[in-house]
Amino acid sequence: QAFLPLVMNTWHFENATVAAWDRLVRARGSAVDAAEAGCAQCELEQCDGSVGYGGSPDELGETTLDAMIMNGDTMDLGAVGNLHRVKNAVGVARAVMEHTDHTLLVGEAASAFAQDMGFKAEDLTTNRSLNIFFQWLKTNCQPNFRKNVLPDPSKSCGPYKPEPKQKWRSQKPRTQTDLHSHDTIGMIVIGQNGQVVAATSTNGATHKVPGRVGDSPVAGAGAYADSTAGGAAATGQGDIMMRFLPSYLAVELMRSGIDPTTACKTAISRIKKYHGDFFGAIICASKTGEYGAACSKHPGFGEFPFMVFNSRTNRPVMEKVDCF
């Protein structure tokens, strides 16, 4: 049985769930307002260091952000990729949706747009992100690092390899926070009126090649919303996941009458066919508020937590799904 309204998000980011619910129900905001508020809460709190400023430094040590928001009533979408020096990436994504005819702005020009729209320019580097960067430099800086490129160690170190994250994941997590590091907030909000909105925000992959944009700001990859079918949002190895548009697939499966859990599983299975143990998860909700989730089993990642707040739970509840 389904219960609207619904707020649902990836991982255990409970304050984000509550922020979205408060905006939707207590402040009588729209589902767009709520999804923005939820993701913005994580950006502010730097959820697990993987959302917002001060996390996932790239090969040059800089933190950049990816975010999107999609309105399933109008099918409008705004997104930013590789956003520099602006903390509130989901706010900028909403500005792209509401103040331009475009869908996705990237890089320095996206930052210039953000500043034009009144967002503050600030350094996204913190002691924490610098430490991560310098630790990585110590072990990974090889001068002649990219094929057919003359060595220029002053420029960058690399090549980018996701190993540090995978190695880290296969270790026993030390704390609850460690367990969930390096993850994106993906949120689905369905208003009482049936409006489906999906949003994401992340600082992406650690030690990425500068310029890399992940799945989170890509329509149908990081998230998708269509009020005539449902919504979905993904987290995990975006470089792989974005090739399969898992959020779009899940929403289309729900449109055809498939239940949300099966839709999520099918979207993950499609990727597993080619990448047996990729790291990734997806949450799905049908337009009536039924929901489900699925994740791919990966060393050190056997279950995936997600948050649900609806008129039945009447409070934020963390649920878990076993990965397969």
Instruction: Establish if 247 lies at the interface with ligand SD4 (CB under 6 A).
Output: no
Nearer to ligand SD4, 137 or 240 (CB): 240
Residue span binding ligand SD4 (CB under 6 A) among the ranges 12-20, 80-88, 97-105, 178-186: 178-186
Q: Which is nearer to ligand SD4, 88 or 235 (CB)?
A: 235
Q: Which residue, 267, 262, 261, 263, is CA-closest to 280? A: 267
Residue 164 CA: distances (Å) to CA of 46, 90, 170, 196, 219: 20, 27, 10, 36, 28
Name residue 25's beta-bridge partners. Answer: none
64 binds ligand SD4 (CB under 6 A): no
- What minimum distance in Å lies between the beta carbon of 77 and ligand SD4? 17
Q: Which is nearer to ligand SD4, 235 or 286 (CB)?
A: 235
CA-CA distance, 102 to 55, in Å (whole number)?
28
Please tell me whether residue 295 binds ligand SD4 under the rule CB under 6 A: no
Shortest separation between residue 136's beta carbon and ligand SD4, angstroms: 17
Name the helix (H) or strand (E) containing 77: strand 76-83
- Cα separation, 90 vs 83, in Å, equals 11
**Rounded distance, CA 187 to CA 180, Å?**
16
Least separation in angstroms between CB 191 and ligand SD4:
26
Q: How many CB atoms lie within 10 A of CB 319?
A: 15
* DSSP category for residue 24: I
C-beta atoms surrounding 103 within 10 Å:
17
Question: Using the rule CB under 6 A, which residue among 215, 250, 282, 283 binds ligand SD4?
Answer: 215
Residue from 55, 72, 191, 236 touching ligand SD4 (CB under 6 A): that is 236
Q: Is 202 in the site for ligand SD4 (CB under 6 A)?
A: yes
With CB under 6 A, what is the number of residues at the site for ligand SD4? 14
Give yes or no for residue 58 binding ligand SD4 (CB under 6 A): no
Task: Choose between 49 and 204: whose C-beta lies nearer to ligand SD4.
Answer: 204
Supply the minimum distance, in Å, between the C-beta of residue 250 and ligand SD4: 15
Q: Which residue has the tokens 């993904």?
A: 234
> Does the protein bind ligand SD4 through residue 246 (CB under 6 A)?
no
User: Which element (helix H / strand E) includes 10?
Assistant: strand 6-10
Q: What angle do CA 315, 319, 324 make, to 5 degrees?
A: 165
Q: Which of 184, 202, 206, 235 is catalytic?
A: 184
Number of alpha carbons in the 13 Å side-chain half-sphere of residue 169 = 22
Select 58 or 66, whichever has its Cβ closest to ligand SD4.
Answer: 66
The span from the CA of 143 to the CA of 156, in Å, is 8
- C-beta of 276: minimal distance to ligand SD4 in Å? 18
Amino acid type, 188? I
Out of 19, 205, 285, 293, the residue judged to bind ligand SD4 by CB under 6 A: 205
Is residue 292 within the footprint of ligand SD4 (CB under 6 A)?
A: no
Interface with ligand SD4 includes 91 (CB under 6 A)?
no
Rounded to the nearest whole angstrom, what is the least distance from the CB of residue 301 to ligand SD4 in the complex?
Answer: 10
Q: How many CA atoms lie within 13 A of 56 on its CB side?
A: 32
Strand partners, 121: none
Active site residue 184: yes
C-beta of 87 vs 182, nearer to ligand SD4: 182
State the residues that interact with ligand SD4 by CB under 6 A: 66, 182-184, 202, 204-205, 214-216, 235-238
* Residues classed as catalytic: 184
